[in-house]
Amino acid sequence: MDVLRRLRGSPWPGYTASMVLANLSGALILWVFIRYVLPLPSADLQNAQALNVAVFLGYLALSVVVGFAIGVRILRPVITWRRRGGPPTAVEQRAVLRAPIRQMLVHAGMWTVGGILFVLLNVAASHRLAVVIAFSVVLGAAATCSVGYLLAERCLRPVAADALKASMPETTNGPGVATRVLLTWGLTSALPTSGILVICVSQLTGSFKADADSIVWSVMFVGALSFVVGLLGASLAARSLADPITQVRQALAEVQRGRTDVSVQVYDSSEVGLLQEGFNRMVRWRGRAGTATRSVRQARWSRRGQTGVGDRHRSGR
């Protein structure tokens, strides 16, 4: 029961589930795209079909286990710090802040190895199928890496906030705002949309020989995929930028009402985190300045009061 209570308030179950879900979603996209969407001749699909299915399922299970093990290794300094308590060391803080980008590299590596494996498995039987698999792996990897990075960043936000309480790093430990937006656009929208161009060019050059209905279904699937993944990625990226700005705006409203004990949670080491930390420093400086001003005024009134008492005492004599 104690373990269940700790897990209920911990970000690790949600983090693990989101990483597994991102990979399973990418694998499902890959399978549906190759097996049911692309207008490949049945002869290409039947070549080594049983072997492809067996290797696909086996590698999917293996990648989940290996990805989990590598993820635990990446987060080992973070887990050690959370168990120990207290402020993190520089290495532990850096491990927290760089965890999302490192997890994305793990996804990319697993998908690259799987893509090479399946291309080598099918290139002898069908060059056309091998090319399709390579392109489909790129689409699945792009969706998995982009969505996985944004989900990891959001799930680890409370841990990053605790890591940044002690100090703000002098250098950024992750992609900045511009890089984050462009990366999200490229992986979730631009790259999937390029699949439509590949399908059309392949039909025009004769790589695919399919009727109009098959081409339409392929284009519709890639377009829908681009819409859904792009919307999800853009929503996560937008929230990662809008949430801290909203926090600063709400805290600024409290400062305008006269409060000087407000602060915002810092959970980002990019320009967003610098904005959050800069606001907190400004409020602290304003609070100290206000305290100093009140002390000077009280001292002046005290001296005036003492002078007035002394004058009255002398005049009474």
What pLDDT is stored for residue 34 in this prediction?
A: 74
Fill in the amino acid letter for 264.
V
Q: For each successive 10 residues of the chain (317 residues), what is the average pLDDT?
A: 50 81 82 71 62 82 86 86 85 86 89 88 76 80 83 85 77 72 78 75 69 78 81 82 85 82 79 79 71 56 54 51
Alpha-carbon distance of 314 to 317, in angstroms, equals 5
Residue 48 zone, left/alpha/beta (φ > 0; ψ -120 to 50; rest): left
Q: What is the pLDDT of residue 48?
A: 61
pLDDT at site 4: 41
Task: Give the per-residue pLDDT at 1.
Answer: 44
pLDDT of residue 43: 59
Tell me the pTM.
0.72
- Count of Cβ atoms closer than 10 Å to residue 11 Cβ: 17
pLDDT at 71: 84
Specify the pLDDT at position 60: 85
